[in-house]
Amino acid sequence: MARLLQGSSISSSYLVEFEKTKNIPSRNFSSYFVHRTRNPKRIRNRYRSSLAVSSSLQKEEAQALVKQFDPQIPIEEAFTPPSSWYTDPSFYSLELERVFFRGWQAVGYTEQIKHPRQYFTGRLGNIEFVVCRDDSGNIRAFHNVCRHHASLLASGNGEKSCFVCPYHGWTYGLDGRLLKATRITGIKNFKVNEMGLVPLRAAVWGPFVLINFDKGSLAQQESDTDAVGAEWLGSTKEILSSRIIESSLSFICRREYTIECNWKVFCDNYLDGGYHVPYAHKGLASGLELESYSSTVHEKVSIQRCGGDSIKSEPDFDRLGSEALYAFVYPNFMINRMTRIS
Ligand code: FES
């Protein structure tokens, strides 16, 4: 049976953990949704004007940083990007907006929501999300934020027939509809149909659950896995689906690591495996046939391959099969397969 090493393979929520104490914009979607319920016009305008000033400043700073980098320089002459790309808060904000909130992110695995009413939660940047399987078997994803005063609705993972806000008891169905709002008698212009949880696009690819934070498609629930695969993996969809991302992969265990670095450092390290492994991981290197190491870059995907000899590997950590294969999907998703790939 192929082994899915969850700890080394995903995901967005882990990567954001690396950064969450720094660079996170202080305002978020949550405050916006909350304020809508009280005095929509006045507060929304105040929110928008202050956010517009701070985000335009940040954008200018970040764009100036981007200009420091010349993508036309041939790879043989290139240097590492400027250090500000790894340390400047405005650059990180730009990355959230342009990279992480546009496109698909693997956030979990299907076995977490195998049965109706199961759910799990996570966070990407400043966005809290909850993913569940509703009573009809559909996978749903929402901002994990109550529409009243922005309390978090759910935490961790488990099983629920509905989401009950722990603050004032508003209750939402697993399809996101507001089922009960406590003590609202006399409140004017309250439209229960407009106060459901804010949806995110959700989809499954192989054993992974993906969500899409693109604000342009918030109202859409996604079920077309072919379209999702094409959007997420680009032209390498076929290669990955036939050789790497298989529904038959089974969940074994989850390990979490907190790494004190910018998320790109972690990705850089993953992608230069053939370079650093002989020096930094001598134990692993002794089980690899490094002369066979190769890296192939496809559209959004990098695939590193190396022959391995499981007999030489550490007995308690069967990391090597007869071939090691490391797939990286832009921007931050990594899959290690240790089987013979034909
Ligand atoms: S914050 Fe008041 S019910 Fe959720």
Counting runs of H as helices and runs of E as strands, what totals does the chain give?
11, 16
pLDDT tens-digit series, residues 169-228: 999 999 999 999 999 889 999 999 999 999 999 988 888 999 998 865 544 454 556 677
Fold type of domain 104-252: Rieske Iron-sulfur Protein (2.102.10)
Q: What's the confidence (pLDDT) of residue 181?
A: 95
DSSP, collapsed to helix, strand or coil, labels residue 293 as: strand
Interval between CA 166 and ligand 1 midpoint (Å) = 7
Q: What's the confidence (pLDDT) of residue 57?
A: 55
DSSP, collapsed to helix, strand or coil, labels residue 287 as: coil
Of ligand 1's listed atoms, the one at least distance from the Cα of 34 is 1
Q: What's the confidence (pLDDT) of residue 238?
A: 77
Q: What's the confidence (pLDDT) of residue 41?
A: 35
Q: Which residues of the chain have pLDDT under 70?
A: 1-58, 215-226, 243, 309-322, 339-342
**What does residue 106 show for φ and ψ, rounded to 5 degrees?**
-75, 125
pLDDT tens-digit series, residues 51-65: 444 555 567 777 787
Closest CA to 181 of 165, 190, 170: 170
Ligand 1 neighbours (beta carbon < 6 A):
146, 148-149, 151, 165, 167-170
Q: What is the C-alpha separation between 280 and 276, in angstroms, rounded?
A: 6
Q: What's the confidence (pLDDT) of residue 28?
A: 26
Mutate to test the pocket of ligand 1, among 38, 144, 146 (most ligand atoms within 8 A of CB): 146
Which residue, by CA, sits nearest to atom 1 of ligand 1?
Answer: 149
Tokens of 22: 């720094």
